[in-house]
Structure 1
Amino acid sequence: MELRQIQYFIQLYKDLNITKASKNLYISQQGLSKSVSRLEEELGFSLFDRHTSGVEPTREADFLFQHFNKIANSYHELLLAIDNIRQNRVLKIAAYHGFALSCRKDFLSGYRASYPQSEIRYQEKNNHDIPEQLLYQHADVAFMQAPIPETLTSVHLLHREPVHLVMDKRHPLALKGNVRLPELHSQNLLLLDSMEDFNTFILKQAVKKGVSCQVQDTTGINEFLHILHGSSLVGFASRRMFQYYSFPEVAFVPFAASEYEKYPELTIETHLVTPADITPDETARQFIDYITQKTLLKG
């Protein structure tokens, strides 16, 4: 039995689909099928029932999954320990798109200054891709917007920021002190592609309340304010996301206080997260402690 066979089994167990699992593993479907079949032959019993729509784990697979998962996690911890012995441990940090713009400019550089011997690799991903980055060890820690899945643990709430409506200052809604959800009726929306969970929520609430609004387009954070300026479109964002942008022609208008109280989803929470079933090693723990202390001191 090889470690790779165990890793392939775990991926297929989670995805329940050979096509999806093979893509996540970056191998061919045929290669994955052969590996799992060889593992079944070696064990002497089936791990999956095959169907045209996917696979279904057998009772034996359910029993073995927790043991195989422990083996995979222990192997990952072993690799981290070896890296530390070799003194070439690279801390891999993932974050959602736009996270760096929502922080102080010295947020990560301050850590490097405090721990000059530490090496960091930082990358931004779509928020919904972050759990996969952590679970498959492409990242050690991550900054993620809520909601946080059960497979991850929030080790620190970094900040909580209310979502505002964003629009050209000449837009009628820009003249209001605050806005209620029904006032979005007949508005054309420009959505940020990095706020998928929020976008889903706001559109569902609009349907529930009978509010008819049209999604005109989605865009990235760099084009967002430029598109809103001079248009009749309305977008959603937090002020923190655009703290380094100078755009006086665009207005940020909050929702009514009662809306924030009624709908927690109108507030963006950013958490520092780690895999739920893996204990952070010394390098990751050092970073977690630094971030926690730094943000607590600011508060």
Structure 2
Amino acid sequence: MELDQLRYFLQVARRGNFTRAAEDLNISQPALSRSIQRLEEELGQPVFERKTRSVSLTDAGTLLQGRAQQVLSILEDTKAEITDDGESGRVRVGAIPTIAPYFLPEVLGRFSAAHPRATIIVQENTTDLLLKACTQGEIDLAIVALPIQAKYLELEELFEEELLLVLPLDHPLADKPKIRLCDVEPFPFVLLDEAHCLSDTIVSFCRQRSFQPVAVERTSQLTMVQELVSLSHGVSMIPEMARCRDQSDRRVYRSLCRPKPTRTIAVAWNPYRFQSRLLKAFRTHLHRDAARRNAPPPTPIIPKKPITS
């Protein structure tokens, strides 16, 4: 049994399809099929149940999947530990879509400047898939929003950020001095798909205050939420980091009166995997960046007026 066979097998299991797995692995489909066939011949039974356009794991395949992941994880950790110099190597970072494009670019830029020999690989996905990838060792850490259920992962909070109410320019609340949640109740909401935890955070905040937001439209991208709000399809709540990146003058952002809606950003990793010095340095870097965000703004220095006699 060869290591490549195990890697090929795991990729087919992930994709549920030989064609897509072959594309991911950059090999031909016949070569992939032959590799899996030789694996099944060695085991004496099939690992996949073939269907018209997909495959699913047999009982033997399910057992092999767990063992193959363990074998490859041990080998990867062993290689990483032997070659660990604290400067070179790779860090595989996962982040949810409402964090990745707004938080990671500056973080990765500063880290790459301090560790030019390091390779950073970024994966953007929903919370559940990132936590699964982190547990299985497919990524080294995941940057997510709390709360989450992570049975075998370590969690550290990074920072808390406000969720801002976003309104079209001509909205009746746009010029209101103070906006309370009850003021928003009559208006429809534009939210992300249910797969995104931000929608759960918004709905949970409203429900705790006896208000059920009515979502008239859902989309998969935060930028589309912002555009639909600009077109007066509804209102929404947007993380402060996304608002800071928004250069459009077609919508306005307002803070709600206390208690303000917020979300807590955290980093998760698998403590049972080898923690390289480079990975630890990246986690330290994340905390430094978080501390920078949590620091209060500097007090402006007001020059004293000269004393005249």
1:2 aligns to what? 2
Structural mapping, 1:173-252, within 5 Å: 173-174=173-174, 175=176, 177-180=179-182, 183=185, 185=187, 187=188, 189-191=189-191, 196-199=196-199, 212-215=214-217, 221=223, 228-229=229-230, 231=232, 233-243=234-244, 245=246, 250-252=252-254
Contact 1:156 1:292 in 2 (8 A): no
Which structure 1 segments of 5+ residues have no match? 261-265
Q: Give secondary structure in 2 for the equivalent of 1:8.
A: helix
Q: CA separation in 1, counterparts of 2:48 and 2:231?
A: 57
User: 1:284 Cα deviation (Å)?
Assistant: 0.5
Aligned in 2, Cα 1:85/1:224: closer, same or farther, shift over 3 Å?
same
Q: Distance in 2 between matches of 1:65 and 1:287?
A: 30
* Cα distance between partner residues in 2 of 1:255 and 1:34: 63
The percentage of aligned residue pairs carrying the same residue is 20
Residue 256 of structure 1: how far off its partner (Å): 7.4
State how far apart, in whole Å, the 2-side matches of 1:136 and 1:286 are.
Answer: 22
Matched to 2:118, the amino acid is E
Kept in 2: contact 1:10–1:65 (CA 8 A): yes
- For each residue in 1:22-80, what CA deviation from the matched residue of structure 2 results, as whole angstroms up to 9, or x when unmatched? 5654555544433222111112233344455632322x444443332221102222443
Q: Mean Cα displacement is larger for which, 149-158 or 195-204?
A: 195-204
Residue-by-residue CA offset, 1:248-275 (whole Å, 9 max, x unaligned): 8613243874xx8xxxxx6433222334
Deviates more, 1:32-41 or 1:83-92: 83-92
Aligned to 1:33: 33
C-alpha distance in 2 between matches for 1:179 and 1:290: 36
Helix, strand or coil at the partner of 2:160: strand
The whole-number CA distance in structure 1 between the counterparts of 2:124 and 2:76 is: 22
Structure 1 residue 153: Cα displacement: 2.7
Cα gap change, 1:21 to 1:145, in 2 (>3 Å): farther
Which has the larger helix fraction? Answer: 1
Displacement, 1:111? 4.4
Name the aligned partner's letter for residue 164 of structure 1: L
Q: What's the TM-score, normalizing by structure 2?
A: 0.66
1:187-229 per-position Cα deviation (integer Å, ceiling 9, x unaligned): 3x55568x833347768999xx8865422866554x7667645
The Cα of 1:182 is off from its aligned counterpart by 8.1
Offset of residue 2 of structure 1? 0.8
User: What is the count of residue pairs matched by the alignment?
Assistant: 285
Q: After superposition, what is the alpha-carbon deviation per residue over 1:128-154, rounded to whole angstroms, capped at 9, x for unaligned?
A: 564587578775334233565758734
Match of 1:288 in 2: 283
CA distance in 2, matches of 1:13, 1:146: 29
| Displacement after TM superposition at 1:238 (Å) | 1.8
How far apart are 1:106 and its partner, in Å?
A: 6.6
The answer to whether the Cα contact below 8 Å between 1:228 and 1:250 also exists between their aligned partners in 2 is no
- Rounded to whole Å, the distance in 2 between the matches of 1:152 and 1:101 is 27
Q: Match of 1:280, SS?
A: coil
* Counterpart mapping for 1:7-156 below 5 A: 7-14=7-14, 16-18=16-18, 21-22=21-22, 25-27=25-27, 29-52=29-52, 54-58=55-59, 60-81=60-81, 83-84=83-84, 88-97=88-97, 99=99, 103=103, 107-108=107-108, 111=111, 115-116=114-115, 119-121=118-120, 123=122, 125-127=124-126, 130=130, 139-146=139-146, 148=148, 150=150, 153-156=153-156
**CA drift at 1:6:** 1.0
Structure 1 stretch displaced more, 31-40 or 240-249 = 240-249
2:163 corresponds in structure 1 to 163
